[in-house]
């Protein structure tokens, strides 16, 4: 794995993940610091805007981006900053809260599958099917004999999507307990952020060790060559956005997309 590229954050499916070995404050891929990082992010925004338009116009590829994190991890921030300026016509965000009675009446992947991308579309999952091996596990909503089988289900589901032409990128946004405390406090201190605060988040915070263990097993068992996980240092918001922007742009560029050929000669058409 290259230590000076975004591949340093790629989860190796052959190794057990230990998140305490990943520094959430790391910024090694942008040694010049925040100002330079923000400049590069603007350039990545412009590239992504063009690549998304090309994806939409060509109409051959589908892209699914999965975001998972602890509370306050920054999923909304990634969507807002990495995709700034991108045409909403070809990008869709799907959020997954607690399942509805109708969703509970089906298998747990039913509500997810209908939100997967069409050709020419990028879909961003803000939380995802992985909640069924995270919150479901931590809160003992189903027995271990049930949730432990879901890693294989999910791998097979994502394999089917990629076999049908979907490119999948999955990002775990890695923050530490101190950073979460600061972000929760910001939601209390800043009037325009009060609406983001949920007292239940404090109860979830008490379960940090259990969630960390669940995330480690999730990353270890479901990072595959066809649907890789990246564990992104996310204490520094600008660095988080920069790294994710690089990965998405690099991936879209690798698809070798082209605008559709037209069946007429534009130079011979005269508009009166």
pLDDT digits (tens, 9 = 90+) for 175-195: 999 999 999 999 999 999 999
Q: What DSSP string runs through the chain? A: --TTSGGGGBPPTTS---GGGS-TT--TT-TT-HHHHHHHHHHHHHHHHHHHHHHHHH---EEEEEEEESTTS-HHHHHHHHTTT--GGGEEEEE--SPPHHHHTS-TTHHHHTTSPPTT-EEEEES-GGGGGTHHHHTTSS-HHHHTTHHHHHHHHHHHHHHTTEEEEEEEEE--HHHHHHHHHHHHHSGGGGGG--THHHHHHTTHHHHHHHHHHHHHHH-BTTB-EEEEE-SSHHHHHHHHHHHHHHHHHHT---PPPPSS-GGG----
pLDDT digits (tens, 9 = 90+) for 115-155: 999 999 999 999 999 999 999 999 999 999 999 999 999 99
pLDDT digits (tens, 9 = 90+) for 190-204: 999 999 999 999 999
**Mean pLDDT computed over 240-262:** 96
Q: How far is the first Cα of the chain from the last one, in angstroms, to the nearest whole number?
A: 58
**Considering the chain, what is the average pLDDT of its residues?**
95
Q: What is the pLDDT of residue 3?
A: 63
**Mean pLDDT computed over 55-78:** 97
Q: What CATH number does the domain located at 6-253 have?
A: 3.40.50.300
CB 36 within 8 A of CB 232: no
CA distances from 98 to 49, 125, 127 (A): 32, 14, 11
Domain ranges of the chain: 6-253
pTM assigned to the model:
0.94
Q: What is the pLDDT of residue 1?
A: 43
């Amino acid at each position: 794995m290259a230590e000076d590229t975004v591949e340093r954050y790629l989860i190796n499916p052959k190794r057990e993940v230990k998140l305490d070995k990943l520094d959430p404050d790391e910024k090694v891929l942008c040694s010049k610091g925040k100002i330079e990082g923000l400049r590069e992010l603007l350039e990545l925004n412009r590239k992504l805007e063009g690549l998304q338009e090309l994806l939409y116009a060509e109409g051959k590829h589908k892209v699914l981006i999965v975001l998972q994190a602890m509370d306050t991890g920054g999923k909304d921030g990634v969507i807002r900053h990495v995709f700034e300026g991108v045409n909403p016509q070809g990008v869709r965000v799907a959020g997954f809260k607690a399942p509805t009675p109708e969703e509970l009446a089906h298998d747990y992947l039913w509500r997810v599958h209908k939100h997967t991308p069409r050709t020419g579309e990028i879909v961003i999952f803000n939380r995802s099917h992985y909640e069924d091996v995270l919150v479901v596990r931590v809160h003992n909503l189903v027995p271990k004999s049930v949730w432990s089988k879901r890693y294989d289900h999910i791998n097979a589901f994502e394999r089917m999507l990629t076999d049908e032409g979907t490119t999948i990128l999955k990002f775990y946004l890695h923050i530490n307990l101190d950073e979460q405390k600061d972000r929760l406090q910001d939601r209390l201190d800043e009037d325009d952020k009060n609406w983001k605060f949920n007292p239940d988040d404090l109860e979830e915070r008490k379960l940090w060790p259990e969630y960390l263990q669940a995330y480690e097993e999730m990353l270890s068992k479901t990072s595959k060559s066809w649907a890789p996980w990246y564990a992104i240092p996310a204490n520094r918001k600008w660095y988080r956005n920069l790294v994710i922007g690089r990965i998405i742009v690099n991936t879209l560029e690798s698809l070798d997309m082209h605008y559709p050929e037209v069946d007429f000669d534009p130079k011979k058409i005269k508009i009166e």
